[in-house]
Structure 1
Amino acid sequence: MARRRPTSLRTSVEDIAASKRAPQTPQTESPTYKLAFADDDFLTSEDIRGVRFQLEYLKPEFHLRERGINSTVVLFGGARIPEPGKPAWAAKNETQKANLENSARYYEEARRFARLASETAKMLDYKEFVVTTGGGPGVMEAGNRGAADVCAPSIGLNIVLPHEQAPNSFVTPDLSFNFHYFATRKIHFLMRAKAIAVFPGGFGTLDEFFEALTLIQTGRMDRVPVLLFGADFWGKVIDFQALADAGTIAPDDPELFTVVDSAEEGWDVVCRFYGLEPTEDVFLGD
């Protein structure tokens, strides 16, 4: 990111280049001679973890501020949910294959929901309600794809995983970020979120959903629409009433989210919450 500076000041890049031109001696070849910010071993050491946390927060923050993005619409959901008509690549048995193929409708709902959000973002010069996903496949791809359908920018917050996750091809390239720490990634998911749409998913989706609910419940985050897509799925996976009956959550805590089944139903909840004019899905493509 470009920064103005007085012409008399040397840049860090210039100093790195200058240090490499120093005569090769035992002193200059020692790891201790390296400039701290150019020393990969030092920067990736355990003692510098706090600095890396800060850097992972600051880099996306600088770029998002530079783009003037003030608020987002976040889509969470399973990476394993296929596009309709495509094979369930993640299925490990016939039961999973049938269920994942049946869940493919959520890919299309996520795509349409992202289009609706992006039509509102367009009216606000893409400063508000910008679609944001985890940047990967499945529901994440559907969200970024929905924005791309209407030529809108969208954000992808990828993370390095044991099985490498690559950004899907629909993320806006200069809004494609990569994280090492789940914690800093979660900060960027939620700090600008004006709406959170949660589609069927696995451990990661559940983690993100409950993190958002906890922050809202405890007043650490402003109340925003939290949408659970798929009454049938969530009714089987989590018995919220049982939690309330057990007294482990407040009786009105299930009111922190709204269960919906369609993109239009979900976006209508967002529009009513913020007093927005409803938008229509104007996409005429496939």
Structure 2
Amino acid sequence: MNKNISKKITVILIAYKSEKLINAFVKKIPNNIKVIIIENSNNLLLKRKIEKKYKNIKVYIKKNEGVSASINYAVKKIKTEFFLQISPDIKFDYMDLNKFIGIAKKLDNKFSALGPRFLNVNNKSHKQINKNLKIGSINSIHGSFMFINKKKFKEIGGFDNNFFLYFEETDYCKRASNVGLKAYQINEIKVKTEGRSVLIKNKKEKKELNNILIWHFIWSKYYYSKKNHGSLISVVIFIPILLRIIIKILFYKVFNNKIKIVKYKSRLNGLLSSMVGKRSSLRP
């Protein structure tokens, strides 16, 4: 790896109940690259262990206010020109940082974010550019892997702290496109996802977390729509979704399927909270 690159980029990791995953992940990061970990589950032991073992890593214990707030907080701590926001469940060859730096230079840093090609994702839910292209513009870079110029990040306004989970990267790239900064996917840089970034073994906690994710997804989806298309259009779009959710709750009540009832009630509550303008407040 080019020695100068280690002075140009900081890696940002967001941790929440993922100690085992974080410990395995940081081993793969070259020790000459600065790393900032935002620990959102108050794991003081993780901080002590990591900082004692790795001189290039700094762990910040922070109240869990979501992905957007965590990244914004981390960016204030970095001093390098670029940063890589990466999820600890991503498999990535750090030698490819050279390619990111080179492409950023060719683009004269006129971009909102750069991202790789994901190899093991559902193409219907995870939009990517034509695989035959070397590089191409895309509406939004996936939030699990974003290479960003710090100066441009600040000019765009960073992430919207109102997003706790989901759509924060979509909103960021949308605001950037409004001021003429595109997002680009680089197909020659390839990554794989290796699972979930939150590791919870307890079945009850896992079900609770899944329902919380459902709540936040629909909350963020409506908030994003209202922010970008206005309240009237968003209500028109989401009323049919609201009715379908209610019908499904009634349907599963007939068959006494408690798991499905809780799932769709979580979706209903998340959507209603967003529609009436309440904050994204649900927490584990």
TM over 0.5: no
Output the TM-score relative to the length of structure 1. 0.28
Structure of greater Rg? 1
Q: Which has the higher strand share?
A: 2
